[in-house]
Every structure is written in structure tokens, then in C-alpha cells.
């Protein structure tokens, strides 16, 4: 009887993936190359991407996916957006990079509730290419940003974590570089309950600030480097993790210390299709649930976020075999 009960519990834990509540397609003519989505304080969503010749674009939708407004930044021709957050005052903050040809600078823009620019700042830390990847809003109105700082020196390529704090006007409070002699690139960041921040990303380094030796020894594979810092940028904890479950996936680290992963899964033979693969795993990477969703054509994941109702919002791209028609695809999943 005990064995039977255990079997039922295990079966339930691996088969409790959330169901689809609604889905929407957004024409490529409206939004190209979507990169991020976040829930807003009115239970709607803000989508970040580009349109109209790769210009940064915001799309605000309501809780059921209907469009409320679209904002195109026509003056931001050389700025590439990567991530967005809603700020404490109900506005938004967008991060990415400003492209100067062979060089790039870290870029951050603060927007009001309707998407108009309040201020825009760039930060040059002296590297060849600099790109903000993620941002977190702090309780006092300041922001922590994390990006990749890339250098080319004597035909050698290396990159580091660049972590900085800026105030509510974009003025730099502090910044620091963490990494080793090879490639170290942040992928995600999350606040802890005690107010610290955890930044996790790819590492190929085995020296400098990165602890230990590579766990993944195969060519072209990386480890995960996890760094916890406090509000002053002091390193509280640093550890290396295996990256098997992270490879080729978009990852979010949630407030309850779980990972949401959005990737792709090939279905069938050479004439099959590429479907979305969504997973939730605990902090030790044990599987909580897994779900495969087939879209209209070929599907590529872009982002996944947990919503305030315990569900999930998924941002993806769908296109046919010859890419003659490309659309942004939104999926709202219910709670588990």
C-alpha cells in the first residue's frame, strides 16, 4: 500500500503541468524580434521588441492579450533592447546596448506609464562591447543591472559579468566586474527575500572570481556560475553548477527559488515540427513539471515568466519552413 501511495504522488508531481488559458498571435508587421515580456501592476503585460526597421518597440496588452497601445522609438535607431521591468512609479525601464559599429555601450532608458522617455543613460566601462542583459527594481527606487562586458585583446576573446547600481535618475552608484580569463556572461537575475540579488549565467572560466574547475568537459558546453551579492555589490556567495538543463533554453529564476525553462523540442522525423518545451524545476534542478505545446508551424521560445495568479506567460516566435510568415506568439498558462 505504501509503495502504491508513493507511486501516485510521484506520478502527480510529474503530471501537473498547467493548461492553456488563452493564446494570441501578433503580426510581424506590428512587432518584430520580441525579446521580453513582464506582467504589469494592472494584470496586463508589457512586451519589448523591435519594429519598423529594428527600432525599439513597446507593446502594452491587457490581461487577456488584447492590445492597448504600441510605442515605437523612432529616434533610437542604433539601440537594441534586451529586457524590461515595470518600475515602482508604474512606468518602465528598458535595458540593452547602444551600437557604435565595432563598439557597444551599456544602455538604460526610464519611461513613464505611456512609454515616453523620462531619461536615457549610457555607461562605458572601457570594453569593446558592452550589453545590459537583466535589471531588477529595488524598493528605494534604485536599480541593479547586470550585463556582459566583452573584450578583444590580441585576438583573444573574453567576457565578464558587469554588475552596477544606479539611482532613480540613472546616476551610477557603484559598478564592479566579476569573472575569469574566459567567457562569463550573465543570463538571469532575481531578488531574494532578504534583499540580496542572485545573478546566474554562463561560464567557461576556471580562474579569477569563478570557483572550481569546469563540470561540463565537452567542447562548446558551459557551466552555470551563480553569484549572490548584497545591495552594496559585495559577494555573499559564489558557486558553479552543471548546465545540462540550461542548454539552449530561456531561463527565469523565480521568487520562490525555482527555474522556469522555455526551449524547443523536435517532434517526429525529418518531416516533423519544432514545438515549445516548457519546464519548471526546483533549485536542485529536480523536475516539477514539463509541457510540450505545438504551435501553428515551427516554434522558438523567447521568454517565460510566472504571473501573479500563479500561472505563466510565454513569449515565442512561430514561422513556417521558409520563414515567409513570422509571428510573435503569446501563451497564458494557468496555475499548476
Question: Is residue 305 pLDDT above 80, yes or no?
Answer: yes
Q: Domain with 240 in it: what CATH number?
A: 2.120.10.10
- CA 282 to CA 254: how far, in whole Å? 10
pLDDT band at 327 (very low <50, low <70, confident <90, very high): confident
pLDDT band at 187 (very low <50, low <70, confident <90, very high): very high
Residue 296 placed within a domain: no
Residue 121 placed within a domain: yes
Mean of the per-residue pLDDT values of the chain: 89
Question: Is residue 270 pLDDT above 70, yes or no?
Answer: no
pLDDT band at 233 (very low <50, low <70, confident <90, very high): very high
pLDDT band at 321 (very low <50, low <70, confident <90, very high): low
| pLDDT tens digit sequence for 73-92 | 988 888 999 999 999 999 99
Strand residues in 91-128 grouped as ranges (E): 92-99, 104-111, 117-123
pLDDT band at 7 (very low <50, low <70, confident <90, very high): very low
pLDDT band at 9 (very low <50, low <70, confident <90, very high): very low
Residue 261 placed within a domain: no
What is the number of domains present in the chain?
A: 1
Question: Is residue 3 pLDDT above 60, yes or no?
Answer: no
pTM: 0.90
Helices marked H in the chain: 2-13
Burial class (CB in 10 A: 0-12, 13-18, 19+), 66: exposed
pLDDT band at 282 (very low <50, low <70, confident <90, very high): very high
Residue 42 placed within a domain: no
Residue 280 placed within a domain: no
Residue 52 main-chain phi, psi, to 5 deg: 55, 55
Residue-level pLDDT at 38:
97
Residue 259 main-chain phi, psi, to 5 deg: -105, 135
49, containing H or E segment: strand 45-51
Residue partners of 266: CB distance under 8 A and separation at least 6: 272, 273, 274
Joined together, the cell numbers standing for residue 19 give 493548461
Question: Is residue 290 pLDDT above 50, yes or no?
Answer: yes
Residue 35 placed within a domain: no
Neighbours of 224 (CB within 10 A): 22
Residue 320 placed within a domain: no
Residue tagged 555589490 (cell numbers) = 233
27, containing H or E segment: strand 20-27
| pLDDT tens digit sequence for 125-158 | 999 999 999 999 999 999 999 999 999 887 788 9
Residue 86 placed within a domain: yes
Could you tell me the residue range of the domain that residue 97 belongs to? 78-246
Amino acid at each position: 500500500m505504501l509503495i502504491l501511495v508513493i507511486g501516485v504522488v510521484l506520478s502527480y508531481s510529474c503530471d501537473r503541468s498547467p493548461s492553456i488559458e488563452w493564446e494570441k498571435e501578433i503580426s510581424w508587421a506590428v512587432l518584430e524580434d520580441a525579446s521580453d515580456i513582464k506582467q504589469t501592476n494592472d494584470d496586463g503585460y508589457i512586451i519589448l521588441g523591435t519594429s519598423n526597421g529594428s527600432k525599439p518597440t513597446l507593446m502594452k496588452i491587457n490581461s487577456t492579450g488584447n492590445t492597448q497601445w504600441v510605442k515605437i522609438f523612432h529616434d533610437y535607431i542604433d539601440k537594441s533592447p534586451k529586457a524590461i521591468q515595470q518600475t515602482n512609479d508604474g512606468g518602465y525601464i528598458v535595458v540593452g546596448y547602444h551600437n557604435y559599429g565595432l563598439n557597444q555601450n551599456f544602455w538604460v532608458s526610464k519611461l513613464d506609464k505611456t512609454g515616453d522617455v523620462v531619461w536615457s543613460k549610457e555607461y562605458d566601462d572601457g570594453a569593446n562591447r558592452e550589453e545590459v542583459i537583466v535589471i531588477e527594481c529595488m524598493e528605494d527606487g534604485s536599480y541593479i543591472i547586470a550585463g556582459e562586458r566583452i573584450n578583444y585583446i590580441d585576438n583573444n576573446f573574453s567576457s565578464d559579468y558587469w554588475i552596477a547600481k544606479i539611482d532613480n535618475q540613472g546616476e551610477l552608484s557603484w559598478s564592479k566586474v566579476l569573472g575569469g580569463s574566459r567567457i562569463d556572461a550573465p543570463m538571469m537575475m532575481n531578488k531574494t527575500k532578504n534583499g540580496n540579488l542572485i545573478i546566474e549565467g554562463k561560464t567557461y572560466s576556471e580562474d579569477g572570481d569563478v570557483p572550481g574547475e569546469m563540470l561540463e568537459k565537452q567542447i562548446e558546453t558551459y557551466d552555470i556560475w551563480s553569484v549572490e551579492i548584497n545591495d552594496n555589490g559585495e559577494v555573499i556567495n559564489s558557486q558553479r553548477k552543471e548546465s545540462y538543463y540550461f542548454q539552449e533554453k530561456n531561463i527565469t529564476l523565480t521568487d520562490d527559488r525555482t527555474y522556469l525553462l522555455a526551449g524547443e523540442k523536435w517532434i517526429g522525423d525529418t518531416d516533423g515540427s519544432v514545438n515549445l518545451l516548457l519546464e519548471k524545476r526546483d533549485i536542485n534542478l529536480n523536475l516539477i513539471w514539463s509541457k510540450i505545446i505545438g504551435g501553428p508551424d515551427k516554434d522558438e521560445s523567447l521568454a517565460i515568466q510566472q504571473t501573479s495568479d500563479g500561472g505563466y506567460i510565454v513569449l515565442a516566435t512561430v514561422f513556417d519552413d521558409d520563414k515567409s510568415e513570422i509571428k510573435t506568439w503569446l501563451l497564458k498558462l494557468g496555475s499548476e
